[in-house]
């Protein structure tokens, strides 16, 4: 009886240590592509709809283990997420405009101005429903280590943060596999003299 109890305690302790160690590895440090989004939590009570997603460490590994190596699409997703350390989303939709201010977004914007982060796309639309959208990449050692999407609309605020080594070629191929629309930039032709 004592030996069975001791084995159970050792097993539970070992499991706890493994889970804590995996969580520690899966929780990115500041500056490694991870945004701190706690400052946005005060918007949740004001919002008509609030989404809070935090997937990291063990949950990402678990999601990857659920995908098949036999199916090409699932294998592509699995390859993409194996290098991820976290996916974090905060999205708030309000009943009317003006229920949040730029000051509410200031803490996130400040982080995105830090060294290592670069804005790669900025969309401004005046008078249209889209509002403002910004895409940022965090780089370190020549690798993309994080992605951030910030969308500010009159009645909606969304922040998406993906942390980990992102292979942009794999993302492009995954988009091709799922027939997702790509972003193309048309360049103006130089006027001939």
pLDDT at 190: 53
pLDDT at 159: 95
pLDDT at 51: 94
Statement: residue 23 has pLDDT above 80: no
Please write down the long-range contacts of 141-147, taking CB distance under 8 Å and 24 or more positions apart: 144/168, 145/32, 145/33, 145/116, 146/28, 146/32, 146/33, 146/34, 146/35, 146/117, 147/33
147-162 pLDDT, tens digit per residue, is 999 999 899 999 999 9
Cut 0.85: pTM above it? no
pLDDT at 150: 94
Which of the two residues, 23 and 50, has the higher pLDDT score? 50
Q: Encoding tokens for residue 186?
A: 């048309």
Domain ranges of the chain: 47-177
Q: Is 9 exposed, middle or buried (0-12, 13-18, 19+ CB in 10 A)?
A: exposed
Provide φ and ψ at 47, rounded to 5°.
-80, 145
């Amino acid at each position: 009886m004592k030996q069975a109890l001791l084995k159970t305690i050792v097993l539970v302790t070992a499991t706890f240590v493994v889970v804590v160690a995996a969580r520690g590895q899966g929780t990115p440090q500041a500056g490694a592509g991870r945004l701190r989004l706690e400052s946005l939590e005060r918007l949740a009570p004001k919002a008509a709809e609030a989404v809070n997603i935090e997937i990291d460490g063990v949950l990402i590994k678990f999601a990857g283990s659920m995908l098949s190596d036999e199916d090409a699409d699932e294998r592509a997703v699995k390859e993409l997420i194996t290098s991820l350390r976290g996916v974090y989303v905060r999205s708030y939709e309000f009943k009317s405009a003006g229920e949040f201010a730029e000051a509410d977004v200031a803490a996130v914007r400040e982080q995105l101005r830090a060294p290592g982060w670069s804005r790669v796309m900025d969309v401004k639309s005046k008078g249209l429903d889209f509002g403002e959208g910004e895409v940022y990449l965090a780089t370190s050692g020549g690798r993309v280590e994080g992605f951030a999407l910030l969308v500010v609309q009159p009645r909606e605020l969304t922040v998406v943060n993906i942390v980990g080594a992102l292979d942009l070629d794999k993302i492009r191929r995954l988009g091709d596999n799922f027939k997702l629309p790509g972003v193309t930039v048309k360049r103006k032709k130089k006027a001939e003299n």
